[in-house]
């Protein structure tokens, strides 16, 4: 069960907000991010029905994506051959090794785009379910923001708009990884590592949208807040990204990632200085962190 945090008393006017704690080191921060995801999985034990509702959109969208993935695998050789015409006249060993490396890079980049777009589409399709999971976490932690009365269509439009804005960086990352793939020898390994890190960052920005949106933060302000705890954010996102690569695990992991992201968001927001909050936030501004 999630620990119940006691709401802090509101600050008196003119009282400065305590300075946020120093961000943890790289390794410690990444491990902290992984722990947020583990706490999200813990929700399966404390709220199984709610989490099962969150698994339904992931299952539906996952089945659609599975058809596309199978089609991609069947045609992978043809795609790689089309993309590497310069290797047609090379000697057999060199041509084969080049196209094997190209296939690996293509699969890694495709995995990044599949995981990211899957997350964005699933959050749009399952917005009512994931908002319930986020709201449950907020209520358990205390001092939750007020309910947003924006209607289903407007909520759906907001989710789609955010997804499109966040898709542009994903495309840029994909192009960067394709370029890295042509680095001799270390190219595929570089792509795998960079893909997990950058893919993790894109995921954490996407998954933390509910908590930040409820408090009036823009996407740019959300990124800025997460950068203050970059190691934690990337640790959470990279762990989520790697689990999402496991077939069918994403169905169980998707609601857990939403719950873990809600916890990460709350701690991140509570660590922000007063001047980092929007001028006209939606819902109550969280109280200052203790100490």
pLDDT of residue 50: 95
Query: Among positive and negative, which fits the CA dihedral 161, 165, 166, 170?
Result: positive
- Calculate the alpha carbon distances from 43 to 134, 256, 263 in Å: 11, 7, 11
- Nearby residues of 61 by Cβ (< 8 Å), 6 or more positions away: 118, 121, 122, 125
- Nearby residues of 209 by Cβ (< 8 Å), 6 or more positions away: 123, 159, 162, 219, 222
pLDDT of residue 148: 59
CA distance 194 to 65: 23
CA distance 195 to 155: 30
The DSSP annotation for 110-146 comes to: HHHHHHHHHHHHHHHHTHHHHHHHHHHHHHHHS-PPP
- Calculate the alpha carbon distances from 291 to 99, 192, 214, 271, 287 in Å: 57, 40, 25, 11, 12
Of the candidates 178, 67, 62, which has an alpha carbon nearest to the alpha carbon of residue 112? 178
User: Which parts of the chain have pLDDT scores under 50?
Assistant: 1, 3-20, 280-291
Question: Both tokens of residue 211?
Answer: 């908590």
What's the pTM value of the predicted model, to 2 decimals? 0.80
Question: Both tokens of residue 239?
Answer: 């762990």
pLDDT of residue 87: 79
Question: Both tokens of residue 130?
Answer: 């994931």
Neighbour count for residue 145 (Cβ, 10 Å): 20
Q: Where are the domains of the chain?
A: 29-62+108-271
pLDDT of residue 35: 97
- Nearby residues of 89 by Cβ (< 8 Å), 6 or more positions away: none
């Amino acid at each position: 069960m999630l620990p119940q945090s006691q709401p802090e008393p509101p600050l008196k006017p003119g009282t400065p907000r305590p300075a946020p704690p120093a961000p943890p080191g790289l390794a410690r921060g990444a491990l902290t991010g992984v722990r947020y995801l583990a706490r999200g999985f813990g929700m399966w034990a404390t709220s199984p029905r709610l989490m099962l509702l969150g698994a339904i959109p992931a299952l539906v969208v996952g089945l659609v994506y599975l058809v596309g993935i199978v089609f991609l695998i069947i045609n992978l050789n043809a795609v790689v051959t089309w993309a590497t015409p310069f290797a047609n006249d090379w000697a057999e060993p060199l041509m084969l090794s080049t196209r094997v490396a190209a296939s690996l890079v293509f699969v890694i980049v495709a995995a990044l785009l599949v995981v990211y777009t899957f997350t964005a589409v699933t959050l749009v399709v399952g917005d009512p379910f994931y908002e319930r999971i986020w709201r449950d976490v907020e209520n358990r932690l205390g001092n939750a923001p007020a309910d947003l009365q924006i209607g289903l269509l407007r909520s759906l439009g907001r989710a789609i708009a955010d997804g499109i804005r966040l898709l542009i960086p994903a495309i840029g990352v994909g192009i960067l990884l394709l370029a890295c793939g042509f680095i001799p020898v270390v190219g595929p390994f570089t792509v795998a590592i960079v893909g997990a890190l950058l893919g993790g960052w894109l995921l954490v920005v996407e998954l933390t949208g509910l908590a930040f949106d409820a408090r009036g933060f823009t996407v740019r302000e959300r990124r800025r807040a997460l950068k203050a705890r970059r190691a934690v954010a990337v640790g959470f996102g990279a762990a989520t990204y790697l689990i999402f690569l496991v077939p069918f695990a994403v169905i169980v992991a998707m609601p857990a990632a939403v719950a873990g992201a809600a916890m990460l968001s709350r701690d991140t927001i509570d660590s922000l200085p007063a001047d980092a909050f929007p001028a006209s936030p939606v819902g109550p501004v969280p109280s200052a962190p203790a100490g």
